Structure 1
Amino acid sequence: MKHLLAGAAAFLCLTTSALAEGDPIAGKTVFKKCMACHSTEPVNKVGPTLSGIIGRPVASIADYGYSPAMTAFAEGGKQWSEGLIAEYLTAPKAMVPGTRMTFAGLKKIEDIANLIAYLKSPAQE
């Protein structure tokens, strides 16, 4: 619960304007923390592809086997908005207990904003 509260507090600090100001070039560097499990190409690895994640329904990649926890989290038609991704990235296991994602989360709000900017436009070098 403590991590969930910390994640919620960080999320509340992450305003829409902060997300809009993210730097996709810096986000590419942050994405290196994700590369072992995720791709920005339309190819699944250990984790599902993050290609086109902004606006995509949660747990919706047809050829990826999501955890029961993530499938349950997706119920009700949740979509990966910038805000939901930002909240998730602060503490994935707190937000979706039982997720297979082992990543502890990103602690810096600027890293989250930069990563989201990169995910919106991964072709930027």
Structure 2
Amino acid sequence: MLRFSIAAATIALAAAAQAQDAEAGKAVFGQCRACHQVGETAKNGVGPLLNGIIGRKAGTVEGYNYSEANKNSGKTWDEATFLAYIKDPRGFMPGNKMAYAGLKDEKRAADLLAYLKTFGPDGKPKQ
């Protein structure tokens, strides 16, 4: 019984480690770069900057002209909300301006999230 528990715990830890890979997420973010920026020098572009997205209320990046749907969504970006949104932006938040069709691959979406989580609201890397 103990052997099974240790094996199950090892498998669960390995799965969790694979679930979010920030370095792989950096490559996934390459798709997002056309519209979004992250980092200390990030600015709003076609889309808002994404520094510190987790924990931020939707539609609140200063200087970005959001859709009414985004501004009035009442959503706060947490992991589950971000993953649902990035999978199907228009289905999740009808009326938003994001033209992206969605990132359906759950592993790549988790990696992207891990990468975005490395940036604080000021764009500095979190330690």
Same fold flag (TM > 0.5): yes
Q: Partner residue of 2:62?
A: 62
Q: Unmatched 5+ residue regions in structure 2?
A: 1-14, 120-124
Q: For the residues of structure 1 that align with 2:104 and 2:63, how far apart are their CA atoms?
A: 31
1:18/1:60 Cα in 2 relative to 1: closer, same or farther (>3 Å)?
A: farther
Q: CA deviation at 1:20?
A: 8.1
Q: Is 1:26 matched up with 2:24?
A: yes
Q: Unmatched 5+ residue regions in structure 1?
A: 1-16
Q: Partner residue of 1:105?
A: 102
Higher Cα Rg, which structure: 2
Question: What is the aligned length?
Answer: 105
Query: What secondary structure does 2:72 align onto?
Result: helix
- Across the aligned residues of Structure 1 and Structure 2, the Cα RMSD in angstroms comes to 2.1
Counting only pairs closer than 5 Å after superposition, residues 42-53 of structure 1 correspond to structure 2 as 42-53=42-53
Query: What secondary structure does 2:31 align onto?
Result: coil
Segment of structure 1 superposing worse, 83-92 or 61-70: 61-70
Query: What secondary structure does 1:32 align onto?
Result: helix
CA deviation vs aligned residue, 1:13-35 (integer Å, no higher than 9, x gap) = xxxx8598300000001001100
Q: For the residues of structure 2 that align with 1:21 and 1:84, how far apart are their CA atoms?
A: 17
CA deviation vs aligned residue, 1:27-75 (integer Å, no higher than 9, x gap) = 00100110000001341111000011011111111211101111121x3
CA deviation vs aligned residue, 1:61-113 (integer Å, no higher than 9, x gap) = 1211101111121x3xx210011000101100001111110000001100110
Query: What secondary structure does 1:65 align onto?
Result: coil
Moved over 6 A (4+): none
Letter in 1 for 2:30: K
Letter in 2 for 1:57: K
Q: For the residues of structure 2 that align with 1:108 and 1:36, how far apart are their CA atoms?
A: 20
CA contact (8 A) 1:19 1:116 kept: no
Q: What's the % identity of the aligned pairs?
A: 41
Q: Partner residue of 2:35?
A: 37
Give the TM-score, by structure 2 length: 0.75
